[in-house]
Structure 1
Amino acid sequence: MAKSKQIVECVPNFSEGRDLEVIKQITNQIESVEGVKLLDVDPGEATNRTVVTFVGEPENVVEAAFKAVAKAAELIDMRHHHGAHPRMGATDVLPIVPVSGITLEECAEIARKLAKRIADELSVPCYCYEAAALKPERKNLAICRKGEYEGLAERVNDEKEAPDFGARPFDEQVARTGCTAVGARDFLIAVNYNLNSTSTRRANAIAFDVREKGRPVREGNPITGKKKLDENGKVIMQPGTLKGTKAIGWFIDEYGIAQVSMNITNINVTPLHKAFDEVCRCAQNRGLRVTGTEIVGLIPERTLLEAGKYFLEKQHRSAGIPKEDLLKIAIKSMGLEDLRPFKPEEKVVEYMLEADKKQNKLVDLTVKGFADETARESPAPGGGSVSAYMGALGASLGTMVANLSSHKPGWDDRWDEFAKWAERGMEIQEELLHLVDEDTEAFNRIMAAFGMPKKTDEEKVLRSEAIQQATLFATEVPLETMKASSRVFELCRQMVAEGNPNSVSDAGVGALAARAAVLGAGMNVKINAASLKDRTKADALIAEADKLIEKANAEEKEITAAVDKVINIDK
């Protein structure tokens, strides 16, 4: 299955919020790295601090972060810094945040390597915090920043207090740059829940019901009674119902309503849809209603996709539908358009990153546009891309039958069975649509390799190696198409046997499309393998393709025979 692209967010805080020219020079370094999207620059005069947000693939983000830290170390002298916010360095904190296709643990490892590089190459000492912490107590940023900049002279060379990387006596360089805390944390979602009320008090009550911290336990009257203390003199708290959340209630003049304002600090423990439902429940218990939801800033795509699937499951409906449909369900279910239009291309991190790439993808063409592009004189898209698209259509047909079966009157007790098949079909379709463009990219790589210079012996060697690498890639891509298309047969067979009998012919056509995809992609494997110098590798690829072809022929024959039996066609 095609692996989703890894995307991370970086949110460095720089100890300069007043000199816009300095801030601009730092953000210029970030924007100079290809593949990085600068999302936000938020300077604060009172704090004398600027929060910057940018996203991209991990390698690009790390390079942009390193260049920004280097520029901040050059321009910001901590000996003259004053501001309202706690700080200890020119680049004070530098968190790496997983957005998609990557885990928090992987981000933690990236953060540690970045911290070491900053210390080694820039001579800026670094502490590692939160998920990247090398010492348990340093998961808490406040521990890393204890004493702030003014306390560094004593800490940097103390064995217990020293930075994780770059520990040394407090010299002029450290005095100038201070230290940086590099970490990894989960994506934070800032969200406001709109209430049909103007009461801040009621909004606060709901916030206290749900936030992890909860509310103080009181003696007697739960609102005005004396707060209960434990044996250490600390206020005893009654925890709220949502882990990983912070919340308060407030009134918004602009909208004329009260809101429950929440930060979800761990979306794996408390996803957005779960928080929404719980706030709705607690509001209803207090005689109020949540009229909609306001997302502040950006969110990962998976947040909306998970929400769409969640609300469809509550309806006993299949979630094996296109992403666009899942997004609509999420937007409508949580009232994301209550205050203003909700545009995913402006609120979803991945979509903002893709908007700048201006890629002309085959899968974004209309059906006629794809056919016309294939018919033109250019050799790409060719048989490989068309084979992948046929496989995708086969998966789509099987998925359609699963969805129709899931929603068939009288089959309500089987909705989940068919919904799972539909979701599996959508996964196959998505992989094959990716391979449509991947096959054309493989051809382009070969053409690029043939276009390399070949004047010197060294250039000839490099060109030959590049051609072989590109040819191997062009052989492996259609083989992946064959494997993915082969998975369509199981879906179609199941739909012929168990699905809505009125749609059995659609499942049969899906199997025919899958067979054509396997055989067509197999031709591409063989024609490209013929140009490989490594005959052992080439023969192995061809042998694997032949097995898939043999299996596809048998599978299609079996499925079409079953279709004929259902629709009573005698041969």
Structure 2
Amino acid sequence: MPLVELVPNFSEGRRQDVIDKILAAMKEGSNAKILDSRADPDHNRLVVTLVGEPEEVFNAGFAGIKTAGELIDMDNHSGEHPRIGATDVVPFVPISGITLEECNNLANRLAEKVSKELKIPTYLYEASAKRPDRVNLANIRKGQYEGLKEAIKTDPERKPDFGPSILPKAGATVIGAREFLIAYNIYLNTTNVEIAKTIGRNIRHKNGGFHYVKSMGFETKPFVQVSMNLTNYKGTPMHMVVDTVRNEAARYGVSIIETEVYGMIPVDALLESSEHYLQLNDKWDRSQIIEKKMESKGSEKSLENLSVNEFLSELASDSPAPGGGSASCVAGAMGAGLAAMVSRLTLGKKGYEELEPFFSEKISQLDSHYKTLTKLIDKDANAFNGVIAAFKLPKDTEDAKAKRSAKIQEEYKNAALIPMETVRTCKSVLDIILEIGTKGNKNAMSDIAVATLNTLTGLKGAAFNVEINLPSIKDQTFNAEMKKELAVIMKGLDDKVLKLISEAKSKF
């Protein structure tokens, strides 16, 4: 599943009601997860970090820009941080399963949509820039909102990439794709903002300082701040910047009070600085960190632990697994779960006292079966992945070819046996449901009918996944046994299901 980070910066850090409405709009507008949001009253700025699938973060970004444009009047805005719009900048950042170029496509689409539908001029920056002078965000922000308001009308160089050459009260928005950026602030124990500004000038790349550092000095309360964006923490580590600022500050007789990470940060950026200050030797390895080791052990994605939306997104992707086999497990598990629900709704109800031992037993059996089917969701996906892995084995020698062929046959058998386990489990669930019949709570007759259909769907779907693998298996005895077992299981099943559904409907 491709994951994208979106870090929209809004020009509001003081009015909590506006901040809440912007955040609510992004939450309601998509399934992207807001990992962090923080507002700074001095900068009068809100920075939000969201993560999700490409279309989800796209939708969240548009919802946030729309709401901010309706609530923030740039003619009445002031703050320490440079800005040109209610939504100042919106970067797309690739996390996993997606390229920077694909994030660039998202940025272009969003910029065009914002300009067309919201009538907000948009500029493209960083990897999305259509002109070299617009790679750097500072160039686009030149003159800020107040300066751009006039320049956009008359200066062809300030013409937006999309939208009208006139600023509405929402201003303009800069959108683009970039790699991970760390927003990092260092506070000095002085009220002299010129010291912070001088240090900011000295360390930024534009003025001959560090590569990948953009920095400025600001007056914040009660002390001044050297504010920076670190655009490549591997190229210029955080500890190198801190040490330099500390030395520069000492020249003026001041020191660092504290530092601040604004928004999210990769753990490796912090580890790099920790390793530097701890002076760890060359025997050190990050796999010695307990959390890192646990992370690597549990890195394999578990389908059963995904949300419904995440699982459906995986199912809809172009990956062959999860596929019909895993979907069949879900259908069977839903059938078992619904039947267990009907049983629980019957227990303790007036008129069903004599059936309590019967339904108590069925609940225990159904709970066990739906847990088995849930575990089979991942087993089925991994079985198919095993076939794919076998085909990728080397075949450059006769011995390698033989081993590869044997492994392929082994994995194909496994890919048939796993869905056969699903078939057998769904058959056990269906037998219980047929036994329950219409004995349960009369108000849940539609649920027992749905449980029956879901379980039958799971069973038949899993059977298809058994059958599709058999032609690739050379062991004819194995194939014959599989076909015979399926025939026995399926015999008369449709008629029994139709009869139960008819009886359930008669109770509606």
Give TM-score, length-normalised by structure 2. Answer: 0.52
User: Residue 66 of structure 1 aligns with which residue?
Assistant: 62
Contact kept in structure 1, 2:419 and 2:465, CA below 8 Å: no
- What is the CA-CA distance between 1:20 and the residue it aligns to? 3.4
Residues 317 and 310 (structure 1 numbering): CA distance in 2 closer, same or farther, change over 3 Å? farther
Secondary structure at the aligned position of 2:287 is classed as coil
Number of residues of Structure 1 aligned to a counterpart in Structure 2 = 354
Matches of 1:51 and 1:70 in 2, distance apart?
A: 15
Structure 2 unaligned spans of 5+: 312-321, 336-375, 393-406, 421-461, 475-508
- What is the CA-CA distance between 1:65 and the residue it aligns to? 1.3
User: Residue 496 of structure 1 aligns with which residue?
Assistant: none
Matches of 2:169 and 2:221 in 1, distance apart?
A: 44
Secondary structure at the aligned position of 2:36 is classed as strand
AA partner of residue 415 (structure 2)? V
Matches of 1:270 and 1:181 in 2, distance apart?
A: 25
User: Residue 526 of structure 1 aligns with which residue?
Assistant: 416
Residues 71 and 528 (structure 1 numbering): CA distance in 2 closer, same or farther, change over 3 Å? same
User: Residue 269 of structure 1 aligns with which residue?
Assistant: 235
- 1:108 corresponds to which of 101, 104, 114: 104
- What is the CA-CA distance between 1:71 and the residue it aligns to? 1.5
- What is the CA-CA distance between 1:314 and the residue it aligns to? 5.8
Matches of 2:202 and 2:266 in 1, distance apart?
A: 23
- 2:23 corresponds to which of 19, 24, 27: 27
User: Residue 448 of structure 1 aligns with which residue?
Assistant: 330
Greater Rg by CA = 2
Residues 312 and 42 (structure 1 numbering): CA distance in 2 closer, same or farther, change over 3 Å? closer
Secondary structure at the aligned position of 1:177 is classed as coil
Alignment map for 1:309-458 (pairs within 5 Å): 315-317=281-283, 319=285, 321=287, 324=290, 429=297, 431=299, 433-434=300-301, 445-449=327-331
AA partner of residue 480 (structure 1)? N
Matched, 1:243 2:211: yes
AA partner of residue 244 (structure 1)? Y
User: Residue 170 of structure 2 aligns with which residue?
Assistant: 177
Matches of 2:98 and 2:247 in 1, distance apart?
A: 34
1:484-535 Cα offsets, whole Å, 9 max, x none, are 7999xxxxxxxxxxxxxxxxxxxxxxxxxxxxx9999765422256747589
Secondary structure at the aligned position of 2:47 is classed as strand
User: Residue 217 of structure 1 aligns with which residue?
Assistant: none
Residues 53 and 127 (structure 1 numbering): CA distance in 2 closer, same or farther, change over 3 Å? same
User: Residue 568 of structure 1 aligns with which residue?
Assistant: none
Matched, 1:53 2:57: no
- Work out the percentage of aligned pairs sharing the same amino acid: 29
Structure 1 unaligned spans of 5+: 215-236, 328-362, 364-425, 454-470, 488-516, 544-571
User: Residue 94 of structure 1 aligns with which residue?
Assistant: 90
Matches of 2:6 and 2:23 in 1, distance apart?
A: 15
- What is the CA-CA distance between 1:136 and the residue it aligns to? 1.1
Matches of 2:59 and 2:390 in 1, distance apart?
A: 38
Matches of 1:161 and 1:194 in 2, distance apart?
A: 34
- What is the CA-CA distance between 1:67 and the residue it aligns to? 0.5
Matched, 1:211 2:78: no
Matches of 1:309 and 1:446 in 2, distance apart?
A: 49
Matches of 1:520 and 1:322 in 2, distance apart?
A: 36
Contact kept in structure 1, 2:329 and 2:377, CA below 8 Å: no
Residues 269 and 179 (structure 1 numbering): CA distance in 2 closer, same or farther, change over 3 Å? same
- 2:8 corresponds to which of 11, 18, 23: 11
Contact kept in structure 2, 1:529 and 1:538, CA below 8 Å: no
Matched, 1:477 2:374: no
- What is the CA-CA distance between 1:270 and the residue it aligns to? 1.6
- What is the CA-CA distance between 1:113 and the residue it aligns to? 1.9
**Greater share of residues in helix:** 2
Secondary structure at the aligned position of 2:130 is classed as coil
User: Residue 418 of structure 1 aligns with which residue?
Assistant: none
Matches of 1:541 and 1:280 in 2, distance apart?
A: 66
Residues 209 and 319 (structure 1 numbering): CA distance in 2 closer, same or farther, change over 3 Å? farther
Contact kept in structure 2, 1:532 and 1:538, CA below 8 Å: no
Secondary structure at the aligned position of 1:175 is classed as coil
AA partner of residue 527 (structure 1)? L
Matches of 2:305 and 2:328 in 1, distance apart?
A: 13
Task: Kindly report the root-mean-square deviation, in angstroms, between the aligned alpha carbons of the 2 structures.
Answer: 5.7
- What is the CA-CA distance between 1:481 and the residue it aligns to? 5.3
Contact kept in structure 2, 1:476 and 1:525, CA below 8 Å: no
Matches of 2:225 and 2:151 in 1, distance apart?
A: 45
Give TM-score, length-normalised by structure 1. Answer: 0.47
Matches of 1:212 and 1:150 in 2, distance apart?
A: 24
AA partner of residue 448 (structure 1)? V
Contact kept in structure 1, 2:234 and 2:269, CA below 8 Å: no
